[in-house]
Amino acid sequence: MADLAAPVLDVRGLTTVFHTRQGEIHAVSAVSFALKRGEVLGVVGESGSGKSVTMMSLVGLLPTPPAEVRAGQVMLGTRDLLQMSAKDLSDVRGAKVGFVFQDPMTSLNPVFTVENQICEPLTRHMGLSKAQARARAVELLELVGIPDAAKRVKFYPHQFSGGMRQRVMIAIALACEPDLLIADEPTTALDVTIQAQILELMKDLQKKLGMAIIWITHDLGVIAGIADRVMVMYGGQVVEHAPVDQIFHNPQHPYTRALLRTIPTITGKREARLSVIEGQPPIMTQAPKACPFGARCAHHFARCDAENPQRRPLDSLPLGQGHDVACHWSAGVSHA
């Protein structure tokens, strides 16, 4: 599905720290990934693993200070987003990169109609006239499956249900036909039956429009249904990255393995007892010198404390295209 052209997005060594009264928090440490057109990259991790901060760093959405994007390169096409002026960056946001956030109620403006909010990027970035933008707004609402769009476009956000609001968010994100869509937990606040509707809609839209999607979630079930590749984050780092089938059927990192074991399923064998990952995720108060998962890892050994493992490819493909893992232990494990 993805062609062999240059990646839509190429992120190298992205590092973000927060300056707090307690000192620096290393939220994102040397994260690298790339995305081709038409690809869906799932980003999984628990709260505090740095997945949202990574995506917000990409397009300068973090307040600085306290945040500081310390190092890295974010190539969108041929331009490095981290080197851009604030004004250029705001031309990129909304036009080239669309966003769908977790909670549509707090990310839509309650005092403007939906029409107003969809038209904003259209007139701002696409140079449409007001009348053209209004017509396009109705089309977009139809595209995301809102019935009676011509009438509903005049509604305020509170007049929509949660699922419908999320559809509005998606319509806004897609308004300028972005190359890249960043979806940060877009279905987490929704009920399962509504979640299913939104997932089907996104798959459908991606087939039609062919944009690349970064889908951030903590729900491995959602990832299994939508992602082509998966990046597992822990303690601000990428610990494993692989095509979706590899992640679920041949996970290498002890964290990925443990995470997959802790979630019960509705089919398959019902375990008498859930397996757990003891302990708490770390708070990264300094640049990582040891493996962040070390303290909770069942396979922990001396080297894990001495040296932070680097990502290492497990196949002949270059790093970030096939299956790679950042673990000292899994080095000695055969592909089972």
- Helix, strand, or coil (residue 58): helix
Whole-number Å distance between alpha carbons of 293 and 239: 9
Q: Angle at the Cα of 309 (from 294 to 250), degrees rounded to 5?
A: 80
Spatial separation of the C-alpha atoms in residues 154 and 54, rounded to whole Å: 35
* Angle between the N-to-C axes of helices 130-143 and 114-125, in degrees from 0 to 180, rounded to the nearest 10: 120
Q: How far is the CB of 199 from other proteins (least distance, A)?
A: 8
The answer to whether the peptide bond before residue 281 is cis (omega within 30 degrees of 0) is: no
Residue 281: which region, alpha, beta or left (left: phi > 0; alpha: psi -120 to 50)? beta
Write down the least CB distance from residue 192 to other proteins, Å.
4
Residue 278 CB, shortest distance to other proteins, in Å, is: 8
> Closest distance between other proteins and the C-beta of residue 168, in Å?
14
Question: Which of 73/250 has CB closer to other proteins?
Answer: 250
148 or 305: CB nearest other proteins = 148
Minimum CB separation of residue 214 from other proteins in Å reads 18
Hey, what amino acid is at 310?
Q
What does the alpha-carbon distance between residue 332 and residue 329 come to, in Å, rounded to a whole number?
Answer: 6
Q: Least distance in Å: CB of 224 to other proteins? A: 5
160: number of Cβ within 10 Å: 19
SS3 state at 35: strand
Q: Which is nearer to other proteins, 191 or 305 (CB)?
A: 191
Select 88 or 271, whichever has its Cβ closest to other proteins: 271
Q: With respect to other proteins, which residue has the nearer C-beta, 99 or 255?
A: 255
- How far apart, in whole angstroms, are the C-alpha atoms of residue 137 and residue 74? 31
Q: Which residues bind other proteins (CB under 8 A)?
A: 46-47, 161-164, 191-197, 199-200, 218-226, 244-245, 248, 258-260, 262-267, 270-278, 280-281
Minimum CB distance to other proteins smaller for 129 or for 285: 285
Q: Which helix (H) or strand (E) holds 170?
A: helix 162-174
CB of 13 to other proteins, least distance (A): 27
Considering beta carbons, is residue 99 or 293 the nearer one to other proteins?
A: 293
Please name the helix (run of DSSP H) or strand (run of DSSP E) that holds residue 40, with its range, or none. Answer: strand 40-44
